[in-house]
Amino acid sequence: MPIFGGLGLTRNIIVEELTHTPIEMYFSEIVERKGVGHPDTVADAIAEAVSVALCKMYLEESGRILHHNTDEVQIVGGQSNPRFGGGNILEPAKIILVGRATVDANGDSFPVGRRAVQAAKEYLRKMGAHLEVDTDVTIDCLIGKGSNDLTALYDTQKHLSNDTSFGVSFAPLSETERLILETEKFINGPLKSDLPEVGHDIKVMGVRRENNIRLTIAAAMVDRFIPDKSHYVSVIEQLQDEILDLSAKHAKRNVKVDINTGDDYDQDVFYLTVTGLSMENGDDGSVGRGNRANGLITPCRPMSLEACAGKNPVTHVGKLYNVLSRELAERIFDMGQGDIQEVHMRIVSQIGKPIDYPQAATSQLIMAKGVPLSRVKAEVDAIIDEGLRRISDLTLRLVEGEITVF
């Protein structure tokens, strides 16, 4: 195995052929996405917003990003009284910020708690159009000082791995995966101007059976825009029509759409909310329970259980390797289109070792029929080597919000 960088280290790149059925040839497939207002996604987003805010504070004050991990946000659902025409919040949801950060260094002290709470509120104001941040939620910051061992490891400034962990991804997205991703983005994007009744707490579950895809969508409705039952029903029907129109643009397979299947009109059971967010009424959320780094939950694909959001973007491979795996898988597939049907990418670290020299960086390729691995292997090697060599480039892109991790 080649030696890189004159350090006596190897990047441990493995490229192998995978004998496996491509996802599009499966008889069945399951895909899920939790939308931006789902409490698990809100927890992810706040964790990431806090990390980014701390990164920028450290850069301003110290000239570099100091050690931190803010990946343990917990949301405890509140209590509300939604009703047609507009209800009210009874008890605010509680958001607990947990993690570790550098609170002082080189004689300087950093207002970690204040910056963290400020970042959380800024995100909530941007995301929750119908959420009154000062009254509908409370935010407690319990972020403490980091442990001596991890802080000392980080402070070497040698970009040594913060953990023994791995990142996983794949390419390309299947038709079903792309449809689920685009559906949630559409509902929480362009559709809002036409259907303000639909809140931001959206969950899209897709089940494919051969050439038939059924989307089950949970959509929190904003009560103040819905005067009565008949209006609610009309909004559901319009939302269904809009999604079917969207599906025709993204899927060749047959698509059916079910919305708010927990409703029972005869028993006056409706998915009504005051804020468009289910966390207002008992629905809790935690970092890492939602979408993976590619924005999807894909039980038919290789996945990592690692929570990416909130981890420091300098040395925490739980974030960096998942992001890099996704980008490498996409580059490899784009390079080998026609020759490669699917790419599975896995990268594993060892704590205390350079992040650009993993224990293993494995690319498994499902080759097109009759195409030998040798046709693409050298170029795949080169793509992985370059990606690892430039892994630190991800840091600024993450801080600038150019890369999403949920």
Quick: pLDDT tens for 295-306: 999 999 999 989
Q: Compute the average pLDDT of residues 48-68.
A: 95
Note the pLDDT tens digit of each residue in 321-343.
Answer: 999 999 999 999 999 999 999 99
Quick check: pTM over 0.85? Answer: yes
Q: Compute the average pLDDT of residues 45-49.
A: 98
Reference 260, options 249, 252, 269, 251; nearest CA is 269
3-class state of residue 53 by DSSP = helix
Identify the pLDDT of residue 2.
43
Do 39-154 and 175-285 fold alike per CATH? yes
Beta bridge partners of residue 214, listed in sequence order:
207, 256
| C-alpha distances out from residue 56 to 92, 154, 268, 313, 354, Å | 30, 17, 49, 12, 24
Distance CA 372, CA 368 (A): 8
- Does residue 166 carry a pLDDT above 80? yes
- Does residue 276 carry a pLDDT above 80? yes
Domain ranges in the chain are 13-23+163-173+289-394, 39-154, 175-285
Given pLDDT bands bounded at 50, 70 and 90, which one contains residue 404?
Answer: very high
Q: Compute the average pLDDT of residues 80-102.
A: 97
Note the pLDDT tens digit of each residue in 103-140.
Answer: 988 777 899 999 999 999 999 999 878 999 999 999 99
- Does residue 9 carry a pLDDT above 80? no
Distance CA 153, CA 157 (A): 8
Beta bridge partners of residue 330, listed in sequence order:
none
Note the pLDDT tens digit of each residue in 354-367.
Answer: 999 999 999 999 99
The string over 75-110, giving b where at least 16 C-beta atoms fall within 10 Å of a residue's C-beta and e elsewhere, is bbbbebebebeebebeebbbbebbbbbbbeeeeeeb
- Does residue 151 carry a pLDDT above 80? no
Identify the pLDDT of residue 155.
73
- Alpha helix stretches (DSSP H) within 226-308: 229-250
Given pLDDT bands bounded at 50, 70 and 90, which one contains residue 154?
Answer: confident
Identify the pLDDT of residue 106.
77
How much of the chain, in percent, has pLDDT values that exceed 70?
98
Average pLDDT of the chain? 94
Identify the pLDDT of residue 108.
76
Looking at CATH, the fold of the domain delimited by 13-23+163-173+289-394 is given as: GMP Synthetase; Chain A, domain 3 (3.30.300)
- Radius of gyration from C-alpha coordinates of the chain: 23
Identify the pLDDT of residue 6.
40
Note the pLDDT tens digit of each residue in 178-210.
Answer: 999 999 999 999 999 999 999 999 999 999 999
Identify the pLDDT of residue 8.
57
CB 295 within 8 A of CB 181: yes
**CATH 3.40.50.970 is held by the domain 175-285:** no
| C-alpha distances out from residue 366 to 168, 299, 371, Å | 16, 19, 10
3-class state of residue 68 by DSSP = strand
- Does residue 4 carry a pLDDT above 70? no
Q: Compute the average pLDDT of residues 280-306.
A: 95
CB 176 within 8 A of CB 205: no
Provide CATH code, domain 39-154.
3.30.300.10
- Does residue 22 carry a pLDDT above 80? yes
How much of the chain, in percent, has pLDDT values that exceed 90?
91
